[in-house]
Amino acid sequence: MRECDEDMTVETSVALGAEGRPAPPSLSRPPAPPALSPVEGGLGAVRGLRCAGVSAGFRRNPERKDLALVVTQRPAVAAGVFTQNLFCAAPVVVSRRHLEQAALPAGDAASAVAGGAPAFAVSASGAAAAATPPASAGDAPADSSAAPAPGIRAIVLNSGNANAATGEAGMRCALGTARIVAEHLGCEPHQVLVASTGVIGVPLVEAPFVTGIPLALAALGAADGTAAEAGLAAASAIMTTDTHPKQAALTFTAQGTAQGGTAQGTAQGDGSFVLPEGTRSRCGSTKEPSPCAVPSESSRTYTIGGMVKGSGMIQPDMATLLGVLATDAPLTQEAAQRALRRAVDVTFNKVTVDSDTSTNDSVYLLATGAAAGPPVSVDGPLFEPFVLALTALCEDLARQIAADGEGATKLVTVNVTGASDDAQADRAGRAVANSPLVKTAIAGHDANWGRIAMAIGKSGAAFRQQDVGITVMGIPVCEGGLPVPFDEDEALRRFEGRPEVVIDIDLGAGAGSARLWTCDLTHGYVSINGDYRT
């Protein structure tokens, strides 16, 4: 079994195909759920789980939160995707194993697991009390040949230390962390996932977990979807060089069809999602929700929430990204894994800040089943609407990561259309998004499109120079591979007046397309990384 290089290729990708060359080009989107409504609270908005963020002593500053804990009321269906970096961290290895051990049988959903397992109430002191009394110390030991208990009960994340390149001691600490949480919750250690982020190569000890986990248990918010403050605290605790916590949540009402629905929606430059009637919904917004359909008797309403961290060492597959996503939908094991992979492939794996892939990338999806109802399975009518809602949430979070790149002043969206296939479009777009020359030009508010042409030319993507068109912030700057006269003053005004720079590239070679997110490259990036350990 491979420990680090988890294959991030998804079984069924979400197509982003586009045809023609609009001004600016617009990528087609997969069908949208009938309704998307933003809600507050991140993970705190999801029923069936509790979360917290506390200061446990991983950092020198006692005022800074550095330990996040997510606890499900009952064992939850869980899925994960991880870094492909061969220098992967101990928590990555441990959590991959734990996910395999806790996987549910095919067809079972979160609600089915919940029905057969005791719920636990955490006391103010941080101790766990089982709703069904656990076995006493004098009882016979469990049969070691019995199958591991299914479902995940908790995820514990620390910031300030990556626990990477720490050898067997690091493995013992990761395993010990899971054991500590399990002892408090009365579950098995393999039902606990672990994640770490921070400096690589520094030994991580268990002491902060021993003292910090009871504090986190005592600080857990409610499990009824109203714990907005707890969600914010958890998101704050996983930050490293992030300038602000990153979280989002939405509810959606989906009426399944045999084809999973046909409504179309489009992600906009401001982070909103335009639905068929032209209304907008932004997952992380506090604006009034804009549902585009009235729920019917056969429709289902679910909540999805999430938190992520990531600012530097960002490159798709995954970025230096820790993320926890959760839903109250009763997903089956296969549905959870497929939905997560599909969403990650077109969102988090399309983010790059500096082309470096972290040792600790981990994104988890928990399905508590608290919304009840029939299982959401891969071949069921509600699966596609769920994937689309999850993708919308992940896109919101991915854009937050790119916009908060270390030292960044601009979010940059690179749209490539007209490629011979999607892989070629991704190759061209990635070269632009990772080009220091392109990124510094943006930082300097310079519409130097020649650097964009240089980047796609070196990318290895197949196209003819005379077929290429480039638009920057809606201003055509290259057509047929040749310069287009444009107003430099107007370009400067757009640079100065917009938080996002959109670059549209048409290769004129086919119907392939891709969208990537990055940021500009400033002196701030050098300062942050030059002083990272000091």
Question: How many CA atoms does the CB half-sphere of 256 hold within 13 Å?
Answer: 18
Exposure pattern of 422-432 as b/e (b: 16+ CB <10 Å)? bebbbbbbbbb
Is residue 130 within a helix (H) or strand (E), and if so which, with residue range? strand 128-130
CA distance 301 to 250: 10
Exposure pattern of 502-511 as b/e (b: 16+ CB <10 Å)? bbbbbbbbbb
Q: 3-state DSSP call for residue 28? A: coil
449-458 helix and 436-443 helix, angle to the nearest 10 degrees: 160
Q: How many other C-beta atoms can be found within 10 angstroms of the C-beta atom of residue 527?
A: 12
The token duo for 199 is 């400096």
The token duo for 277 is 């009637």
Exposure pattern of 453-478 as b/e (b: 16+ CB <10 Å)? bbbbeebebebeeeebbbbbbebbbb
Which residue matches tokens 């617009």? 26
Backbone angles phi, psi at 120, to 5 degrees: -125, 140
197, 320, 332, 471: the catalytic one is 320
CA distance 403 to 431: 18
Residues sharing a CB contact under 8 Å with residue 41, sequence separation 6 or more, in sequence order? 225, 226, 227, 228, 231, 232, 247, 249, 305
- In SS3 terms, 414-428 reads as EEEEEECCHHHHHHH
Partners of 478 in the beta sheet?
Answer: 470, 483
CA distance 340 to 324: 11
The token duo for 269 is 């430059």
| The total number of residues written for the chain in this structure | 534
Catalytic, 197? Answer: no
How far out from the chain centre does Cα 172 lie? Answer: 27
Q: How many other C-beta atoms can be found within 10 angstroms of the C-beta atom of residue 172?
A: 15
Backbone angles phi, psi at 302, to 5 degrees: -130, 165
Which of 195, 402, 392, 194 lies closest to 304 in space, CA to CA? 392
Residues sharing a CB contact under 8 Å with residue 175, sequence separation 6 or more, in sequence order? 94, 189
Q: Please say whether the beta carbons of 329 and 386 come within 8 A.
A: yes
Q: How many other C-beta atoms can be found within 10 angstroms of the C-beta atom of residue 369?
A: 30
Q: Which residues are catalytic?
A: 320
